[in-house]
Structure 1
Amino acid sequence: MLECIIIGGGPAGLNAALVLGRARRQTVLFDNNDARNKVTHESHGFITRDGVTPKEFRESAHNDIRKYPSVKIKRETIIEVYKEENGFISVKTADGQIITSKKLIFATGLKERLPHVEGVRAFYGKSLFSCPYCDGWEQRDQPLVLISENAHAVHMAKMIYQWSKDLIICTNGNKTISEEDKLLFERKGIIVREEKIARLHGTDGKLEKIIFEGGHEISRTGGFVTTELYQGNQFGASLGCALNENEGIIVDALGKTNINGVFAAGDTSFSGPSQLIIAASEGVRAAAGVNSELTMEEF
């Protein structure tokens, strides 16, 4: 019988699979290749892997995991998760297979909604990004824009300022920045524009202009957006997992949820997105929790 099912093939799920493979645990990792970072050209901040593309990272991780015969990777989509009467956990795939395991790790990550601006999707991951730590260095000292429709704009702008002092904040018609913060930004040379954006202009994903309703334009070469994050599925909630205010699955120090046998790792157990290296470490934590629990049950 399987000892662990992992749902999600991002850094958290992959690292969990690696650790469980080295622990000789019978494990299946389900990955439908629908990661949030697929649009990203490069990932940064992971020592020895700085600048790696998501595709390269996944291929390298799969090669590492293949060394351990107890782990299988299946490119299938899970559509249902439920508890059996004996306490084990079963999953149902899109093609109708039912697979049962003693333990389960959710590593499904988060989904995101971009600002309601025409054309923003074409630039996202190419010249507009969501994480200054991940992409700020590549945009240093350039004329940047922050497109934000929520109150997170204030914090985000202060972070971006570390990499470029030439910054314009666009709230796309939303009054989300207080007069006090506007004055603070003005003293720093940061411009706040509250008009609605008509569209973005550029070629091959490279931002060139922001065009406002009314026809006014400003030139920018790139920048950042604030996104709205949400769980891409309701698997955790359907099992009764406790959630935080941002719908992240609440876990303990070893990644265990309040439901026996169920663990979570990476962004799905966070209140927001984390860097690649942090998500991977969360996978290690959850795998150690699973292995420890299985070991104690054997005795």
Structure 2
Amino acid sequence: MWLDCAIIGGGPAGLNAALVLGRSRRHVLLFDHNRPRNAVTHESHGFITRDGIPPRRFRELAHQDIAKYPTVTIKPDKAIEVTPYYGGFRIKTSNGVWFQARTIILAAGLKEFLPSVPGIQRFYGRSLFSCPYCDGWELRDKPIAIISESANAFHSAKIVYNWSKDILVCTNGENCLSEAQQGQLERKGIRVNRHRIRELVGENGMLNRIRFENNAEVKRTGGFISPRWDQAVSFGEALGCAMTSQGGFVTDAFGRTSVRGVYAAGDSSIIAPTQLIIAAGEGSKAAIGANTDLTNEDFYN
């Protein structure tokens, strides 16, 4: 049996796409191997009526909503291969099973690579975060660190300044700030330490202070980091989808990629950390794009 759509990725984008397509009476299979990027997060913020919800609870509620629609199936398996097949696509799972779908929505999101700081993983999701719009409120007016090895350091400092004026920018030995940028930050009272970080100190994931290789030690109670991002799966590139200079998929307003029948949603198309509500909205748009194209194909044939 041919599916109308196969959705790869069970995050907020994939879940909302499945909901919209289910309500559109489409036969859908959602591949979700339950290894979300936000597994380290204890609370998700910025989604109206769901502010502060644990990601696991959000998934449970989403699965309950989707279960109302009998044409949608959530498969707890990993898609490992996607190939063109008779005008549609074949999807192979890690269990060696093949499925056929007329369209594909890529919603597997991103892999993130944290700055090369010893022990940083122990604090990530507890007192160090990647998105100030998601977690800035909880760190308001506290002594904050921004750990960034990329050109995003200056922008991050400007944004975080809205929540706290006590900011230390740590470049971890990388030359990612120009002299002009450092001067601008220091004029606003934002300190900069360009030395490599020797150690993050704290207990139970809660940061207490930062030690540098120049023997400096600074008290910080939390902060933000700038991860490096990459696509979690390479299906889109293998299918020939055009990519942006940042590594995301080139899409139109409804998630259509440059390859007919392939759509992208959520972090996969934005290539930046997004809020839950933005990712869910991206999934809805991609679902509408897929349903519109399927409808036109069926209506005129």
Show structure 1 runs of 4+ deviating over 4 A.
none
Distance in 2 separating the partners of 1:65 and 1:44: 22
Mapped contact 2:130–2:273 kept (Cα < 8 A): no
Task: Report how far residue 273 of structure 1 moved.
Answer: 2.2
1:44 corresponds in structure 2 to 45
Task: Report how far residue 20 of structure 1 moved.
Answer: 0.6
Give the letter for the 2:150 counterpart: N
Task: Report how far residue 62 of structure 1 moved.
Answer: 0.3
Q: How many residues are aligned here?
A: 298
Which deviations, in whole Å up to 9, do the C-alpha atoms of 1:135-173 show, x marking residues without a partner? 000000001111111111000001111000111111111
1:13 corresponds in structure 2 to 14
Mapped contact 1:244–1:271 kept (Cα < 8 A): no
1:108 corresponds in structure 2 to 108
Mapped contact 1:3–1:27 kept (Cα < 8 A): yes
Distance in 2 separating the partners of 1:292 and 1:186: 52
2:74 corresponds in structure 1 to 73
Q: Report SS of the residue matched to 1:52.
A: coil
Task: Report how far residue 112 of structure 1 moved.
Answer: 0.8
Task: Report how far residue 214 of structure 1 moved.
Answer: 3.9
2:158 corresponds in structure 1 to 158
Percent identical pairs in the alignment equals 55
Task: Report how far residue 215 of structure 1 moved.
Answer: 2.8
1:97 corresponds in structure 2 to 97
Q: Report SS of the residue matched to 1:141.
A: coil
Query: How does 1:1-299 map onto structure 2 within 5 Å?
Result: 1-84=2-85, 86-299=86-299
Mapped contact 2:229–2:271 kept (Cα < 8 A): no
Mapped contact 2:207–2:221 kept (Cα < 8 A): yes
Task: Report how far residue 36 of structure 1 moved.
Answer: 1.2
Which deviations, in whole Å up to 9, do the C-alpha atoms of 1:83-109 show, x marking residues without a partner? 01x211110000100000111110011
Distance in 2 separating the partners of 1:56 and 1:69: 22
Task: Report how far residue 246 of structure 1 moved.
Answer: 1.7
Distance in 2 separating the partners of 1:214 and 1:12: 44
Distance in 1 separating the partners of 2:183 and 2:290: 51
Distance in 2 separating the partners of 1:128 and 1:18: 32
Q: Report SS of the residue matched to 2:237.
A: helix
Task: Report how far residue 271 of structure 1 moved.
Answer: 3.4
Task: Report how far residue 187 of structure 1 moved.
Answer: 1.7
Give the letter for the 1:12 counterpart: A
Task: Report how far residue 260 of structure 1 moved.
Answer: 1.4
Which deviations, in whole Å up to 9, do the C-alpha atoms of 1:16-54 show, x marking residues without a partner? 000011111110000011211111111111111111111
Distance in 2 separating the partners of 1:83 and 1:199: 49
Distance in 2 separating the partners of 1:203 and 1:175: 30
Mapped contact 1:14–1:61 kept (Cα < 8 A): yes
58-67 or 259-268: which moved more? 259-268
Task: Report how far residue 225 of structure 1 moved.
Answer: 0.5
Which deviations, in whole Å up to 9, do the C-alpha atoms of 1:192-247 show, x marking residues without a partner? 00111111111000001101114321111000111111111210011111111122
Distance in 1 separating the partners of 2:185 and 2:52: 32
The alignment yields a C-alpha RMSD, in angstroms, of: 0.9
Q: Report SS of the residue matched to 2:255.
A: coil
Which deviations, in whole Å up to 9, do the C-alpha atoms of 1:55-114 show, x marking residues without a partner? 011000000000000000011011100001x21111000010000011111001111111
Give the letter for the 1:80 counterpart: E
173-182 or 260-269: which moved more? 173-182
Distance in 1 separating the partners of 2:123 and 2:294: 46
Distance in 2 separating the partners of 1:249 and 1:201: 39
Mapped contact 2:19–2:66 kept (Cα < 8 A): yes
Distance in 2 separating the partners of 1:169 and 1:241: 37
Which deviations, in whole Å up to 9, do the C-alpha atoms of 1:235-271 show, x marking residues without a partner? 0011111111122111112211121111111110113
Q: Report SS of the residue matched to 1:247.
A: coil
TM-score, normalization: structure 1?
Answer: 0.98
Distance in 1 separating the partners of 2:90 and 2:127: 42
Task: Report how far residue 281 of structure 1 moved.
Answer: 0.6
